[in-house]
Amino acid sequence: MSEDREMTTDERRKYLRIKQQRYARASRKEKGQLLDEMEEVTGLHRKHLITLLAGDLQRKPRRRQRGRTYGPELDDALRVIDESFDYICAERLTPNLVWMTQHLAQHGELKPSDQLLSHMERISVSTVRRILQRIRQDQARLPRRKAPPRPQYFQSIPAKRLPWDIATPGHFEVDLVHHCGPSASGEYVCTLQMVDVATGWSERIAVLGRSYRVIEHAFRVILRRLPLPAREVHPDNGSEFLNHHMLRLWGDSVQGVTFSRSRPYLKNDNRLVEQKNATLVRAYLGFDRLDSVAQTLAANRLLELMWVYYNLFQPVMHLVDKDIIREDG
């Protein structure tokens, strides 16, 4: 029987348990035929098969555990070799143990004995894997960095998702689109966008940088030209929105506006503004880096034309009802 088709011990026992009842009821001639078949399938000797079929085929636990074949000398050598190979897997490490041991011995990193080299030649991949798993646990690990504590004001801002069926205008989803290109270093242009859930009215303004001064100025410009009262502002969890300056803006300077935030790692909480980030910002300003005052002014001239076109000349479809259809069966 070829090695690639050889059955494991458990597979042989399972196969013999299937044949055992048939073997017990068979005649002498049928038993001979069954033994021929089982001998060919399992690769076991005929007499051994007869002995197994006469018992319960349950594997008995080992009475005495085997001692260690490889001593601590091999563990110490594997630590050095494992580090030299930059902690590769056992499948790649095992075929290279002998020559690497000899190579390290030439440089004084190891002093292998003849017995150690003999062990290196015949050790199996599974044994190397078990030894590596054990010795790698002894290595000191870098302390895991704890998440910084959230500011106290962060907990005072309610986290939620604005309902899709809000009938009263003035509840705005807010997001900031970064025009930094492949690198986020330095100052670059960002587009602040606000979308009303009830009416679909959208506002956009380009700012250079993300400081609280430019973000506050952008909010005030948008609030002055809004044709409807702002009742709620709902951004994501970006630091440009959640800070003491923004709390002061919406709590003290601008009265009557509720300030809430979306839940962390749930972009669908701001689904409307996220959708228009692609259709009304990226589609016009692209993905290239914009980082100059001239580019900021040019972007705002384009956004002002879009403000007129999309808010006054383009209809907005709004979901008015949801029906859940359940199929029977």
Mean pLDDT of all residues in 310-314: 93
- Per-residue DSSP letters for 120-172? HHH--HHHHHHHHHHHHTTS--PPPPPPPPPPHHHHHSPB----TT--SS-EE
Q: What residues have CB less than 8 Å from 246, skipping those under 6 apart?
A: 212, 215, 216, 259
Residues 259, 215 within the same domain: yes
Residue 1 has pLDDT above 60, yes or no: no
Note the pLDDT tens digit of each residue in 257-292. 999 999 988 889 999 999 999 999 999 999 999 999
Phi first, then psi, for residue 198 (nearest 5°) are -75, -45
Distance CA 163, CA 266 (A): 15
Per-residue confidence (pLDDT) for residue 289, from 0 to 100 = 96
- Per-residue DSSP letters for 275-322? HHHIIIIIHHH-SS---SHHHHHHHHHHHHHHHHHHHHSS--------
Q: What residues have CB less than 8 Å from 24, skipping those under 6 apart?
A: 53
| Structural domains counted in the chain | 3
Residues 268, 178 within the same domain: yes
Distance CA 59, CA 52 (A): 10
Domain containing residue 44: 3-54
Q: How confident is the model at residue 99 (pLDDT cuts 50, 70, 90)?
A: very high
Residues 235, 297 within the same domain: yes
Per-residue confidence (pLDDT) for residue 2, from 0 to 100 = 47
Q: Are the C-beta atoms of 136 and 96 separated by less than 8 Å?
A: no
244 or 142: whose pLDDT is higher?
A: 244
Q: Given strand 232-234, what is the order of strands in its sheet?
A: 202-208, 189-196, 171-179, 232-234, 258-259
Which among 40-44, 227-231, 314-318 has the top mean pLDDT? Answer: 227-231
Q: What's the predicted TM-score (pTM) here? A: 0.57
Mean pLDDT of all residues in 219-248: 93
Residue 153 falls within a domain, yes or no?
Answer: no
Residues in the chain: 329
Q: Are the C-beta atoms of 98 and 151 separated by less than 8 Å?
A: no
Of 178, 236, 181, 230, which Cα lies nearest the Cα of 207?
178
Residues 306, 166 within the same domain: yes
> What is the end-to-end Cα distance of the chain in Å, rounded?
51
Q: What is the mean pLDDT of the chain?
A: 90
Percent of the chain with pLDDT over 90: 68
Residues 218, 279 within the same domain: yes
Per-residue confidence (pLDDT) for residue 4, from 0 to 100 = 58
Residues 274, 215 within the same domain: yes
Residue 329 has pLDDT above 70, yes or no: no
205 or 329: whose pLDDT is higher?
A: 205
Of 229, 69, 242, which Cα lies nearest the Cα of 157?
242
Residues 47, 86 within the same domain: no
Residue 23 has pLDDT above 70, yes or no: yes
Per-residue confidence (pLDDT) for residue 140, from 0 to 100 = 75
